[in-house]
Amino acid sequence: FTTKGGTAFDGFLLAASQEVGQVILTLPWVFSLVGMTSGIILQIVFATAALYTNYLLVNLHTEFRKRLAADKDDPRSQDTHYVVSYHDIMGGLIGRSFRNFTFTVVFLALFGLSTVQIIATGSNMYLLSDVLPKRSWSLIAGGVFALVAFIPNFRHYRLMVILANIATTYTSWYMTITAAVEGPVPDVVYDAPANIQDWFRGMVGLLFCFGGHASNIEVADVMDDHSTYDKSYFYSFLYVFTLTLPNAVTAYHTYGNIARDNNNAFGLYPKSAARDVGIILMNINNLVAFGLFIGPL
């Protein structure tokens, strides 16, 4: 029960843990670059684009599975352990050249996202304890994260994604409540966006929140009913908004342009047991996110 699941709710948990993650720690920094209004609008626009993209991918996946089941000469049609990947769909529906192109793009994207989880964990651990430099913490995190290779597939992530969502929920609301209680710092300044370069930096940082679609194919494929994943993904975004918007809005309202100097939001909050719990929990979430991004590789 705790390690294997393929229900629509498991899809919701997987999608939510993949989408929010470490990004809640960068949202105050993003808002300090693009401004409050622009940040909220960009979140809605990017989320809408991500939902539509995922809807298309799920439908392409369903069509590919139908064609594969009808092709009895393809050994993959009888292989119960075969998991469809993004490049398989592109190759099966469009052609081999697109398969190779998609494979290259997906590999680079997911490799980058996986690496970010390791670097973010090193940054978190350095805030928790500076006895080691960030690079050493990152190397340790990379060694620990490599153990996810022993998890067979995304159906076996149930316990891990539950922990990941507990982590992000706790951390987001800790940050929201702490910022709201503290209120605006003296002489707070809301000057975002300061220039067009800052706005684009923040926009790209926010766009990063809504990537990772390549691994969605493999998540959908291990669900009991592949066609329900787009609904799970939609509801996960509604949940994610309850974490990201209050967190970003209250942090920027409290700290203003001070957040621009702290791309890891834990640096904004005073050292406390509650903050340290959040750091540890976010490292657990990064482990799960690493597994979700590295899985298709």
- Residue 2 domain-assigned? no
The number of distinct structural domains making up the chain is 1
Q: Name the burial class of residue 292, with classes exposed (0-12), middle (13-18) and buried (19+) by CB atoms within 10 angstroms of its CB.
A: buried
> pLDDT in tens for each of the 297 residues of the chain?
555 667 778 788 888 877 777 678 888 999 999 999 999 999 888 888 888 888 888 888 888 888 888 887 777 877 777 778 888 888 888 888 888 898 888 888 888 888 888 998 898 899 888 889 989 999 999 999 888 877 776 667 778 888 888 999 999 999 999 999 988 888 888 888 888 999 999 898 888 776 655 667 777 777 777 777 778 888 888 888 888 889 999 999 999 889 888 888 888 888 899 999 999 999 998 888 888 777 766
Domain of 83 in residue numbering reads as 8-294
Q: At 238, list the tokens.
A: 């509604």
Question: What string of DSSP letters covers the chain?
Answer: --S---SHHHHHHHHHHHHSGGGGGTHHHHHHHH-HHHHHHHHHHHHHHHHHHHHHHHHHHHHHHHHHHH-TTSGGGG-TT----HHHHHHHHT-HHHHHHHHHHHHHHHHHHHHHHHHHHHHHHHHH-TTS-HHHHHHHHHHHHGGGGGS-SGGG-HHHHHHHHHHHHHHHHHHHHHHHHH-SPTT------SSHHHHHHHHHHHHGGG--HHHHHHHHHTSSSGGGHHHHHHHHHHHHHHHHHHHHHHHHHHHGGGGGG-SSGGGGSPP-HHHHHHHHHHHHHHHHHHHHHHTT-
Size of the chain in residues: 297
Closest of 266, 225, 171, 223 to residue 15, by C-alpha: 223
Residue 1 in domain: no
Residue 145 lies in a domain: yes
